[in-house]
Amino acid sequence: MVQSKVDENVRQRAHTDSVGNALWSVLRRSDTSVVLAALILFVLFSFSNSSFLTPFNLFNVSRTAALYVFVALGQAMVIVIGGMNLSLGAIGGLTVVVAGWCMDTMGWSPWIGVPAAMLAGTLCGMFNGFIIIKSRLNSFIVTLASLFIFTGLVQGISQGFPYSNIPKDFTMLGRDDFFGVPYLFIFAVIVLIALGYMFKFRVVGRRILATGGNLEAARLSGIRTDNIVFLSHTLSGVFAATAGLLWVSRMGSAQPSTGTDWLIISFAVAIIGGTALNGGEFSALGILASAIMLTLIKNGLIMLNVNVYFEQTFLGVIVLLAVSVESIRMSLDSRTKRTQTDTP
Amino acid sequence: MKKQQVKLFSMVMVVTLALTLLLAACAAPVAAPAAEEAAATEAAPAEAAAEQPVAAGDFKPVWYAPAPHPYFEDVRKGVEAYVAETGIAVEMQIGPDWTQDSQNQRMEALAANGFNAFAVYPADASGANGLYEELTAAGSHIINFGTSTAQPTTASFAVATDVKVAAMRATEELIKAMGGKGNIINVLEVLEDPNTALRKQGIEEVVAQYPDVTIIQEVAGMTSVETAVQKVGDALSANIDKVDGIIATGYTPSVAIAQVLGEYKSKDGARTIHAVGIDTDEIVMQAIKDGVMDGTIVQNPYGHGYLSLLLLQYLSEGYTPRADVYFVDAGFAYANQDNLETYSEDILAVTDQIKAELLDKYLEK
């Protein structure tokens, strides 16, 4: 009888410990803080403005967040190998212009325009990757140069004119929804799941992370790091092109100015979302949460009707407060590690 | 790098460059239908004039825009009309970006090349004055088109829209469409532009005259159409149960309003929301045609180009600006569904009227 009670207590303690450990292991993840920050902001804005939870607003917020995801993925693909892509927005702009030129000026179907635009974006990414691995120059310098090249092409081809005659069918992805959830958001989630799987379970993903973690060690362990750098920049071009095309789909027109303000967003979403600036780490969940968080902040500032002249200040303060959740998490994490080390 | 790799690298570079140039060369004329139309009517004499060599001591005018933009293509039509009419060659340049630094470098190079009269859209309202001081000290004449530099300035004139008056007219039209009462969202463009403050002031002055009209929200910082679409969408979401009208006094937010309202109405948006914008982007004009927007303020870019060059010519002939005359109001028109087909004629008539008044009203000898 006594023995069975003891067994019961041991079982209960073990169960509590396992739940606690599971919870703690979730809290210790680097992307937990940004997920928490996004949730806190969501709750705060829900209470502060009755319009926040309207289907119209949630639809718009999730669409913008989805677009931020693709912009951030374009940057994350190169940050993860310890590089960067300053020409990301210009690649997006060039993609948009190529799509507009094909569909509006030439009157071609999206079945031709979209692959042509994707090809343009992919080639831009390949161009960056090729120059980087062959010249051994830093990605900052190479993509800075290609930023000018691609921007010049955008301006030269479009001469600043938007392309307005985009087939209505093409706006379906950017404007329609599935039971109230925008297709854009669903698409972003699917892509993130696929990338999360790739980085965790596929050889190519592990090799990308290894290259970003320590290029020399990766090379010595037999990874063809040049191929990985080339692949990362190509993927960056692919995601920039995807983001550009999705903007065209959402807008129903191809604006040559697309991409001009992507640089800050791409770095902010990727890095706040847990992509290590010096490479080797990637979090699909973190990028999604970070994109939602930044969109919520921008949306919330308008919802709260803040003074337009101080909007940027409020934006900065809220971003700082939101990312400070990560600082608290790290502090708790290190304290726990210390306690575990001290315990005999 | 191995010899073979160098060869491969060089080959790829050459092919990429060739493709790039080919793409740009193929696309440029097709992508600018408006410019092409203008070229069809005026290109022959304009090109002939542009090919004339610049002789020392002559009137050597330059038309300079900081970066490619649809507005500048419309202004260029006015410049091309001037060239066609007078036979005087004008060096037309469009810079690569909106920075004052680029503008300084390129205009200094043009001045060094002997050009002595400049019609310029200043990239930076304050920063351009430094450049202007140097050029006018060297004997050049400068005229701002589209906007003005900060005062005091050595530019002789600014040929532009009176932005405050235009904003007031747009507000009057919006309030009229709203039936004299309701709530307005005021969508400003970029706060760094001093004209934004004038537009805001104009809108607020008109709204103050209508006790039943309230500005319920202001949004700003429309650095691109993407940002503008997001912000206008957010502002609409925040006020969807109380907004009656949206006003935009900048090109980018006007396009964004057309996009967002069009989408709202296509999704059976129940609320009647009136909207007035500015400029004649194809998307805005289509929105007016479809009844999504009520109207738009049509500036006079043709006049901005034509009148600037004509004034520079008069200055080179020895005319001087009359005392206390600096701003040449190039006028504007309001386009809505009623005059969609005829508004461009209205605005041409404004140019002709100002042209006839130039010597009496703005210049003396």
Domain ranges for chain B, please list them: 32-161+301-330+348-364, 163-298
* CB contact burial A272-283 (16+ within 10 A = b; e otherwise): bbbbbeebbbbb
Partners of A308 on chain B (C-beta within 8 Å) are: 188, 191, 218-221
Per residue, the 3-state secondary structure of B94-147, as one string, reads ECCCCCHHHHHHHHHHHHHCCCCEEEECCCCCCCHHHHHHHHHHCCCEEEEECC
Q: What are the tokens at A261?
A: 């303000």
* Per-residue pLDDT reduced to its tens digit, B268-299: 778 899 999 999 888 999 999 999 999 999 99
3-state secondary structure of A280: coil
Same domain, A87 and A211: yes
The three-point CA angle B123-B129-B133 to 5° equals: 135
Query: Which one, of B257, B265, B336, B252, lies nearest residue B297 by Cα?
Result: B336
| Cα B180 from Cα B60, distance rounded (Å) | 52
* Locus of tokens 């390129």: B106
In CATH, what number is assigned to the domain containing residue A167?
Answer: 1.10.3470.10
Identify the residue with better confidence: A287 or A17: A287
Whole-number average pLDDT of chain B: 84
C-beta atoms surrounding B33 within 10 Å: 14
| Cα B248 from Cα B277, distance rounded (Å) | 5
| Cα A4 from Cα A11, distance rounded (Å) | 10
Same domain, A298 and A313: no
A305/B238 Cβ within 8 A: yes
CATH number 3.40.640.10 is the correct assignment for the domain at B32-161+301-330+348-364: no
User: Chain B closest CA to A109's CA: distance in Å?
Assistant: 17
Domain total of chain A:
2
What interface predicted TM-score (ipTM) does this complex get?
0.75
Partners of A105 on chain B (C-beta within 8 Å) are: 27, 30-31
pLDDT for residue B28: 36
Would you call A55 an interface residue with chain B, using a CB distance cutoff of 8 Å?
Answer: no
**Alpha-carbon radius of gyration of chain A:** 23
Determine the topology of domain B163-298 in CATH: Rossmann fold (3.40.50)
* Locus of tokens 């958001």: A185
Same domain, A168 and A134: yes
Q: Are A103 and A165 in contact (CB under 8 A)?
A: yes
* Per-residue pLDDT reduced to its tens digit, A177-218: 898 899 999 999 999 999 999 999 999 999 999 999 999 999
Same domain, A189 and A333: no
* Per-residue pLDDT reduced to its tens digit, B81-129: 999 999 999 999 888 888 888 888 889 989 988 899 999 999 888 889 8
Same domain, A215 and A258: yes
Q: Among residues 213-242 of chain B, which lie with CB inside 8 Å of chain A?
A: 216-221, 223-227, 229-231, 233-241
B12/A130 Cβ within 8 A: yes
DSSP string, A293-313: HHHHHHHHHHHTT--GGGHHH
| Cα B123 from Cα A306, distance rounded (Å) | 29
B237/A51 Cβ within 8 A: yes
For residue A149, the enclosing domain spans: 52-305
pLDDT for residue B269: 76
* Nearest residue, CB atoms, B237 vs list A57, A164, A256: A57
Above 90 in pLDDT, residue B244? yes
Q: Select from A53, A54, A60 the residue whose CB has the most chain B CBs within 10 Å, as the one to mutate to test that interface.
A: A60
| Cα A253 from Cα A322, distance rounded (Å) | 34
Same domain, A183 and A272: yes
Give the number of beta-carbon pairs within 8 Å between A and B: 142
Q: Evaluate whether residue A331 is within a structural domain.
A: yes
Would you call A160 an interface residue with chain B, using a CB distance cutoff of 8 Å?
Answer: yes
Between B48-57, B116-125, B132-141, the lowest mean confidence (pLDDT) is in: B48-57
pLDDT for residue A3: 61
Identify the residue with better confidence: B203 or A327: B203
